[in-house]
Structure 1
Amino acid sequence: MTKNSKNIYIIGAGISGLITALELEKANFKSTIIEATNGVGGRVKTDTVDGFQLDHGFQVLLEAYPKAKQFLDYKALELQTLLPGAVIFKNGTPTTIGDPLRAISLFIPTLTSNIGSVKDKLTIFKLNLELKNKSIEAIFNAEQTTTLHYLKAKGFSDRIINNFFKPFFSGIFLETELRTSSVMIQFIYKMFGEGLAVIPKNGIQAIPNQLQSKLKNTTFKFNTKVKAVKENRIILEDGSVIETDAIVIATEASKLLNLKQEMNWKSCDNLYFEVERNTLKKPIIGLIADEKAIINNIFYTTSIETKNSITNNHLLSVTVVKQHHLNETELIQKVISELKTYCNITPKRFIKRYEIKQALPDLKLVRYTKDYLKYKHSDSIYLTGDTELNGSLNAAMSSGEAVAKQIVEDFK
């Protein structure tokens, strides 16, 4: 039996599933990807609505991610750069801070900002230097506590934690208490320090689209839902059964495998509004630091160049991380009210809401890599995805690569 004759199926056409297929092709293996929706991307998707480009949730690519640099063609993605900073809204007053070493325009605003003390700013400088000289492996091998505990141990004041770190990292970790592992704030902070946050000109879905375009010998079965996975068998929703040599589950595995322990997920709401003017006037994220607000961050997606925008007005992305019990009408009204109160923004009209229930895996302990064998669930079933390592695009790619290597090794 030749390599190409192995019957390998991948469930899920997200980032990890696509990377698995790519790495299998490099080793001269063919695979079939089964996807429940009508296209690739998983949680990394973009729509075009009324001439605006809408990502499913405010998502950026950190260009310093090692696996992104390995697998993606940055030039072809036409990456649009965000300023390395943020506008923080507190009591209705905006304050701009950022990294003046990479954006000189942020030097004076950062120096004069009142979000933290002089000691806090010196501590940030020390943290930047420490993480620059610390390897990713060393970061992930350190003892894990919470992000909040880590920041306090570093000597940061409650003022800068509440005014900057909480709103900024709540938007990344999608939880407001900073209970995410201290390893993740070090990793993400290091990535921000070594590169910029960018968004492809065609929206975030340009990333999985590019990966799909590289696949030459992979078959796709879209709009195909899987009901269950057994040893060497995939049972579809329509009752049909697929016999396989290997199965890679590149989506949540608990229901497919009928596991008692289900994966916990972090969720968020992403709302888009059309507005007549860009109040921030540059590609920079806005953070709402008022504790009573349910809005976490805002970003004018039309502050960067997009391929699909055909209107003279602007598109505002609003992210809500806090848990709430509002229906969609109540949520929209609440967000519109807060935009006016905290940011002096009056939307022209509401466009679309994305209720993202499975935005990031909620992992107490995270890792950067793990032994290849630990991706094996059984003789013929493999698990991949950021759920196996940590909630990041880098982890999705890393796990997909590792699973493919394990399959190649097993079929030798």
Structure 2
Amino acid sequence: MTDRTPPDDRGDRSPATPGRGGALSVALLVTLAVQNAVPPFSTDMYSPAFPHVTEDLGTTASLVGLTLTAFFIGMGLGQILGGVVSDQLGRRRPLIIGGLVCTAGAVICALAPGIWVLIAGRLLQGLGGGVAAAVGRAVLVDLAHGNVLARTMSLLQALGGLAPMIAPVVGGVMVTRWPWQAVFWALSAFGVAMSGLAWRYVPESLPVGSRHSGGATQIVRGIGQVLRIRAFNGFMLTSAFSGFCMFGYIANASYVLQEQKGLTPLAFSMVFAANALLNIMCTLANARLIGWRSPEALIRMGLTISGSSVVLLVVTVTVWGTALVPLCLGFAGLMAAQAFIFGNSSAVGLGLARGNAGAASAIQGLVQSTASAVSAPLATMGGGSTAVPMVVVMVVGVAGAWGSFQFLARRASGHEGGRLPA
């Protein structure tokens, strides 16, 4: 039976920061949100500059595209490195260093005389951003327990949802008015802000007595311990498969709505922004519902909405000739559903691996990023001619999410309907 006890009656409060007696603050939450905003700012601000970079550096579009690949490779490596190292050295130093490395990478990009230096700078920028993102999540796991962790994850997701709405507009304005290097000088300033905020507002959340020792051996052991937690894997895969489904929409929506349905770029941007805003609003609603409904119940609700939306999209594409109105309704439902899946799945999974929070955060981030990266090229195989590959990706994603939740997460965790693990 779902627990509907009001939050105040549950005694569910965020524990004090170890050794500091403080609790989560608005400044800390904003700081952690900034650490996780590197990918959208570093990709969406930069993408409008692609033609300018190609011309200015005398290179090809494919090599410019490789700068994105290099960034995401760096992000993946950085999350693993930052997460496991922070379990041994504490959180504060790796978090601050991650921001500085990200800044150094952006400066190299701004000064790059050729495409290969730009690619190297992007790799370094992604590495620093990955460290900051993984350690930031680990800090949150250290400081917040129970339903507070899920609620806070949802708030961070809502704050993070603003970045993809802001970044393309800012990047477009900058490229219109200044050389493309201005984007990377702005990202350099963003990296400085990351480190400055981390230095000012993030406490050392992992006491010395809770840290691991043993160097590389302990790093491998910590990753192995996390991967042996069946329920963690279940919740992680629930989130990853949902991301796989959602990125089918993100990657291919422009082809379907503009090339197949004839929407103008402005009209498409309005649809895309409206769905992003819907996701933010539902994420805030999810944060309010946690405590009245269990995180698992909210995940199930999100999966139900997601599954229904994908069924609508399959029928629309295969039977109704990709009709515009049901297509947009399916996209909207898909984006709304993620608000109840991502934050809750991440919070429950990380809570189950609290003893190795850094390693768990790293693995979770890497798997989610990989799922999103694989989804995009598969979903766009049909380009503007057919949306069938997109809906196939969505069906695989929602089926994988349901299977992971039902057969790995719920059965292994053993706390369906209750609170998050403390």
Smaller-chain TM-score bracket:
under 0.3
Structure with greater strand percent: 1
User: Normalising to structure 2: TM-score of the pair?
Assistant: 0.24
